[in-house]
Structure formats: structure tokens, C-alpha cells
Structure 1
């Protein structure tokens, strides 16, 4: 009887969390470079409460009691398609490069932390927000876009529209004015060993910004991607945005399925409670 109770409660709790994950996927279906999340779960094992059941009864009962969430998996292995916008300030990382990111940092000069993003919606702004009359730099996702050497990419707006080649070179009036590098995360510090790091360890900070967790720095060795190496023919496409990898219809169907599953768990739990109440009344006489 308690088995049914634990199963019903765990099912309600799991489906409630799954609805939250699915709703977040739907809310970010139009977010540039967003990666959908999937719930991970396992069977719920015996706990300190189920062990209180009589030993003879335990032998007849199952050893598992419902399911429980173990984590959330981000689908980094599937990229979104490129949406053509014809806006020269849109820059999409090509879909074949799944482990590839822009390097960015906050505009605050006192904050030297480095972050990563696949959001290529570029904009221009002061390199130092405290000095609006100072040099102009490239921004993406509200952060300074970093060039070679981890420095902000300085742009002179008076030199004309930006033209960005597939290998990341920036031109203004047919003159090179900068370069936008892409980086991959390599698990091995040996540059000759191409072993991708576990991207699931990255911290998601919102606005498509990712951070390498300090406790796992040794597992995220930064390697710059270059055209002509490792079979790479291009890095980015100007006039395009990378769409999210969320399938709206699939997520809506998943939400309906999860809602029905939660309702079924609620009905089952209600029956368990009613049965327990009747049992208590019988014992009372």
C-alpha cells in the first residue's frame, strides 16, 4: 500500500519538474543559440521510510518506488539551423561546429571573467561604459566580444559597414580592421588530441551566456578553431542567426503528455489516501 503512495508522490513531483523544463524550452524557442533541455531520471530506490516495513512484506514488495529526477541534460549535440536575416550585424556559427563558441566578457573593467556564447547578434557600444566618448567596440549578448588575445574588438563606425568573412576576418572599406575567433573546449591539454570536453558541466547564466565552472578548469582546455585545420571549411556566416534547437510542436506534445501523466498520478494518490483512511477506520472499529 505504501508502495503505491510513494509511487504516486514521486510521479507528481517528477512531472511537475518536467513541466517546468518543457515550459522553459518553449519560452526560449526563439532565443538565438538556445539549447533545449531534457530531464534525466532513475527509479527511486528504498529509503529510510520504506525500510520500516515488515521484513516479510518487504520480500514481496518491489525494491523500487517510483522515479526521481537526477539532472537536466542540455542538447549541445544538436545545433539549430541558420536563419538568414541579411542584417550585417547578425553572425551565426555554422551548424557543423557543435563545440564552438565566441569568447566574451562583461563591459565592467573590474570584472575580468571570461564567458562563452553562440549568440552572434552584434552591436556597437563604448568599450568602457564609464567613458561614452572613448573607443567603440563590438558587443554580443550584452557582453564585449573578444578578439585574438582576449582583447575587445575595437571598431571605428566612421569607416563604414562591417563585412565579416567565413573565417572571422572583419573588413571595413576592404581593409582588415579586426578578427573574430571561435574556440572549442578540449578535454585533453594536448593540442594534438581532439577530445571534446563534457559541455554538460558548463554553467548556464542566461542570455545564452555560458561559464566554465572554476572547479573543472582543468577539463576545459581552450583551442582556437581555424579554417583549413581538422576539415573545417568555414566558421561563421554573416547575415544569419543560429536558431534554437527546440521543436515547438514536439515540446507542446510533451507538455500535454506530462500534464496527463501528472493528473493520473494525482488520481492514483487520491485513491491510495482514501484506502488508507478506510483502513484506519476499520482498525479503530
Structure 2
């Protein structure tokens, strides 16, 4: 197979991977705390042991997560939380291991535990679930994570929301169900009381997805045109090879 066909087929495979990424981004354009994916491609040109010949192809090197924060907007719900800064909430997976998320749509379970939209317990200081007392009439969650509740006319602290960071965010990976994973043994609690801290919690607000639907739709159009262009190159190359075979196969 000649180089134009190899480049074309490898390019179409790379475009298919990119299409999957764009489609997933569009599906999560309204998902709170979602960070869009991007693809990274690399082209190769390898010399062959035949003089004047080389082979070229395209490889999708990696899919990476956008390292930027979504817009924060007010909801008025006192249990909604947004993180202003580079950190993540921790929630308890069914197996007991923590997962990390930017989606702060929280609620109180019938058992009095603060949980996320999937019913997973939100973890506080020390990695323990946060439990509210009975008959709470008001909730205040401060920028440093302290939870103050009004219980039978008395204000008391019900716990503290913990947030975590993993150092180099390039190692962040999506784990499904809206969760992220840090590289092994890199998750560390953020000291929200530190004077050098640049992270704060915003009560009654949620972080929007980083996906821009208009941009993603434009990307879909470009992908379609690129795919069609490559298909024409492959078809032209196939016709060239067919004509060459027909010419060489004719009797003198």
C-alpha cells in the first residue's frame, strides 16, 4: 500500500477518535463541573530501506483534559457548592474508595448525610462522611468549608467540606460517573485556612461545564470536511493504482 493511502486511513482513524471526543463533549455541555476533552495528534515519516521511499502516517497520541475552570453561577440553593480555584470535592465510591469531582450539586439524604447527585457521601476532614443533625432549619457553608447549621434555634458546626488537589493536573484522569482520579498517592487535602491558599468555596453556586457548544459544533463541521477530503485522496490514489495496473497489464 502506498503512502497516500496509509496517511489517509490513519488520518481517518484519528478523525474518528476526535469525533468521539467532540460528541462526548457535546453530550456533557450542560453537566456541572465537567471539563472538556481534547485530542493530541502526531505525524510520522519513516524512511524505508528502499532508496527514495518513505512511509507516513498519523497517530492519535493522547486525549487530555482541559485545565481550566468553568463559569460559576448562582443557584440560590444553600447546598449547592462551587470551587473557585484548582481543587476537587471528594465523594465515597460504593467500594469505599474516594472519587473526586467538581460537581457540587449536593443534598441531604434521609439518613442526614451530605451526598452528591448520585447518592455518594461527600467527604469532610479526615475522609469521613458529613452528617447533619435532625431538624436543621438553615445551612451556611463558608469559603473555608466550615458548615454551620441552625438546629432548634442554635447555631452549631456540622462538619467541614474537604477539597483535594493532586499536584500536576496533567496526571488527572476521568473515572466515569462524573468522577476524576489523581495519580496514585498524589491526592492531598487543601488547607483552606492557609494565607497562601488560592481556593475557596462558593455557597449557593455551581460551576458550569467548560464545553462551548458553538465551538464543538464548528469542530464537528471541520471534522466532516476533513474526513471527506481524506476520502477523496484515498479514492484518487486507488484510481491511480488501478490505472497503473491496467496500463502495465496491457500486452505490448
Deviation at 1:151, TM superposition (A): 0.6
Structure 2 residue corresponding to 1:205, chosen from 164, 175, 178: 175
1:210-259 Cα distance to aligned partner (Å, 9 max, x none): 123xxx424x1413231343143x61111111001111111111111111
Separation of aligned partners in 1, 2:173 and 2:203: 28
- 1:41-190 to structure 2, matched below 5 A, reads 41-46=41-46, 51=48, 55-58=50-53, 63=54, 65-76=56-67, 78-94=68-84, 97-98=85-86, 100-106=87-93, 108=94, 111-125=95-109, 135-142=111-118, 143-173=120-150, 174-185=155-166
* Aligned-residue offset at 1:170: 0.9
Q: Is the partner of 1:257 in helix, strand or coil? A: helix
**SS at 1:283's partner residue?**
helix
Aligned residue-pair number: 245
Q: Provide the rounded CA distance (Å) in 2 between the counterparts of 1:87 and 1:230.
A: 29
Q: Which residue does the alignment assign to 1:12?
A: 12
Q: Which has the higher strand share?
A: 2
- Distance in 1, Cα, partners of 2:129 & 2:205: 22
TM-score normalised by structure 1 residue count? 0.80
Which residues of structure 2 form unaligned runs of 5+?
A: none
Change (3 A) 1:101 1:231: closer
Runs of 4+ off more than 3 Å: none
> 218, 225, 242: which one pairs with 2:191?
225
Spell out, residue by residue over 1:155-202, the C-alpha distance to the aligned partner (whole angstroms, 9 max, x if none). 1351223221111111111321111111222xxxxxxxxxx32x3333
> What is the distance in 1 between the residues matched to 2:97 and 2:45?
41
In structure 1, runs of 5+ residues without a counterpart are 127-134, 186-195
Aligned equivalents of 2:187, 2:114: Cα separation in 1: 25
CA displacement at 1:16 relative to structure 2: 1.4
Shift of 1:103: 1.3
Which residue, 268, 272, 278 being the options, matches 2:237?
272
Is the CA contact 2:139–2:147 (under 8 Å) kept in the aligned structure 1? yes
